[in-house]
Amino acid sequence: MKGLGGVALVFMLLNLTITCYGVGLQTGFYLGKCKGGNVEAIIRGVVRERFAKDPTIAAALLRLQFHDCFVTGCDASLLLNGPTSEKTAGPNLSVRGYDLIDAAKADLEIACPGVVSCSDIIAVATRDAVFLSKGMNYRVQTGRRDGFFSSKDNVDLPSPSITVRDSVKAFGLKGINKNEMVLLLGAHTVGITHCALIRNRLYNFRNTGKRDPTMDANLFKLWSKSCPKSDTGIGNAIALDQTINSTNIVDNGYFKQVKVQRGVLEIDQGLGIDRLTVDIVRTYADGPLSKTFQADFGAAMIKLGGVGVLTKPNGEIRKSCGFVNPKGPTKPAGLPNLLF
Ligand code: HEM
Ligand SMILES: *[C@@H]1O[C@H](CO)[C@@H](O)[C@H](O)[C@H]1NC(C)=O
Ligand SMILES: CC(=O)N[C@H]1CO[C@H](CO)[C@@H](O)[C@@H]1O
C-alpha cells in the first residue's frame, strides 16, 4: 500500500479507532428519531414503575452498567445470551436488572422499531434509577450501538480484594482516572454484598488467620454473628453502605463510612487507607467536595458510559437485547476483527 491510498486508509482506521473510544455520543441523541415517541420518557416510565415496587433496582442497574462497560466497552455484550457469553462468568453472580432492560426494549420496539440500542437503554435506565434514589439527574449521553460478541473469557472484572494500586491501573486501562474510579466506587452507596465476599476480612485476612485490623471493631462484632466462620455458602446480605436506612439512597454516605473504617469490601476500605486515595475519600466524605459529590458522581457515570462505545458505522441496533440480529454485517477481508 503506497501514497495517498495508504494515508487515507490509515486515517480511516484511526477514525474508526477513535469512534471506539466514546467520541460520537451526545445528550438527547434520540430527540425526533422515534416517530412521535419520546425515547427517554418511555425508558423513564419503565424505571419509575419498577422502582416503586423495588427500589433496589438502582443498585442492580448501576452494577449492570459497570459490568457491561468494563468488559469490551458499553456495547450491551453483557446482555447477550449463550452458553459462554459474559453473563455466564463468575462475577455475574447476582447481577440483576436484565428483565427491566428487556421491558423497556419491548416498549421502544413498539414505539419505533429498530431505533434505540440496548446499550443506550442501560445508560438511560441507570441514570433514571440514580435520580429516583435521590442522586442527580445527570445529562446521560446516547448514540451507542450494540456489539456482536460476548465471551466469558473477556470478563476481567476486578476482585473485591484487588489492591488500590491495581484497581487504579485497571480503571486507567479503560481511560478512567483515579479520582473518577473513587467516585464510581461510591456507587457502593447503594446495594448489597454477601458474607462470602467478606469472610476473609473477618477470619483470615491475607492468610494471617486473623481479622482485617483496619475493620471497625463494632462491625466485626456485628458480622461475626451474622456471618459466622462456620458458614460456607454465600451467606447473608450485607449493605455496602453501612449508614443506617441508606441502602437505597445515592449519596456520599459510603465515603463517610469508609473514612471511619466501616467500608465493607476490602477494596472499599482500601480506598480510605491507601495514600493514593485517602484524601479523595476524605474530601468527598465531609471535606469541600462533599457538596459536589452528586454532580461529580454523575460526571464519572457519564465517563463510564463512554468506555469503548460503538457508534455509527460500527455495531447495530439489536431487535432483542439477548440476541445479535439474525443477519449481522459481513466483515470486509483484511480489516482487523476489533473493528467489526
Ligand atoms: C474495583 C472495583 C469494584 C469491585 C471490586 C466491586 C465489587 C463488588 C462486589 C464483590 C459486589 C457484591 C456482589 C455480591 O455480593 O453479590 C458489588 C456490588 C455492587 N457494585 Fe461493585 N465493585 C466495583 C466497582 C463498582 C462500580 C464502578 C460500580 C458502579 C458504578 C459498582 C456498583 C455496584 C453496586 C451498585 C453493587 C450492589 C449490587 C446490588 O445490590 O444488587 N461497583 N461490587
Ligand atoms: C430506620 O428505619 C426504621 C424503619 O423504617 C425506623 O424505625 C428507624 O427509626 C430508622 N432509623 C434511623 C436512624 O433513621
Ligand atoms: C444468569 C447467568 O448466566 N448466570 C450464570 C453466572 O455464572 C455462574 C457461574 O459461572 C453460572 O452458573 C450462572 O448460570
> What is the structure's pLDDT at 12?
46
Distance 46 CA to ligand 2 centre (A): 29
* Reported confidence tier of residue 111, pLDDT bands at 50, 70, 90: very high
Relative to the alpha carbon of 96, which ligand is closest? 1
pLDDT in tens, 114-138: 999 999 999 999 999 999 999 999 9
Q: What is the mean pLDDT of residues 35-54?
A: 97
51: Cα within 13 Å, side-chain hemisphere? 21
Q: Per the structure block, which three cell numbers stand in for 224?
A: 461475626
Binned at pLDDT 50, 70 and 90, residue 19 comes out as very low
Give the mean pLDDT of 221-235.
Answer: 95
Least distant ligand from the CA of 94 = 1
pLDDT surpasses 60 at 67: yes
Buried b (16+ CB within 10 A) or exposed e, 36-54: ebebbebbbebbeebbeee
Whether the CB-CB separation of 172 and 182 falls below 8 Å is answered with: no
Of 105, 133, 111, 122, nearest to 34 (Cα)? 111
Residues within 6 Å of ligand 3 by CB: 87-90, 92
Residues with CB under 6 A from ligand 1: 56, 59-60, 62-63, 66, 93-94, 96, 158-160, 162, 167, 184-185, 187-188, 190-194, 197, 240, 265, 267
CA distance 23 to 1: 28
Look at ligand 2, atom 5, and give the residue with the nearest C-alpha.
245
If you measure from the C-alpha of residue 265 to the centroid of ligand 3, how many angstroms do you get, rounded to a whole number? Answer: 22
Task: Please tell me the residue having the least CA distance from ligand 1 atom 4.
Answer: 160
Per-residue confidence (pLDDT) for residue 10, from 0 to 100: 46
Is the distance from the beta carbon of residue 232 to the nearest atom of ligand 2 less than 6 Å? Answer: no
Ligand nearest to the CA of 243: 2
Burial 131-158 (b: 16+ CB within 10 A, else e): bbbebbebebbbbbbbbbebbbeebeeb
Averaged confidence pLDDT in the chain? 91
Ligand 1 centroid to Cα of residue 145, in Å, is 25
Atom of ligand 3 nearest to the CA of 92: 6
Per-residue pLDDT tens for 288-324?
Answer: 999 999 999 999 999 999 999 999 999 999 999 999 9
- C-alpha separations of 29 from 32, 40, 45, 241 in Å: 9, 10, 18, 34
Catalytic residue positions?
A: 67
Tell me how far the alpha carbon of residue 11 lies from the centroid of ligand 1, in angstroms. Answer: 39
CB atoms within 10 A of CB 12: 12
On the question of pLDDT at 280 being above 90, the answer is: yes
**Ligand 2 contacts CB of residue 244 (under 6 A):** yes
pLDDT at 17: 42
Is 245's C-beta closer than 6 angstroms to any atom of ligand 2?
Answer: yes
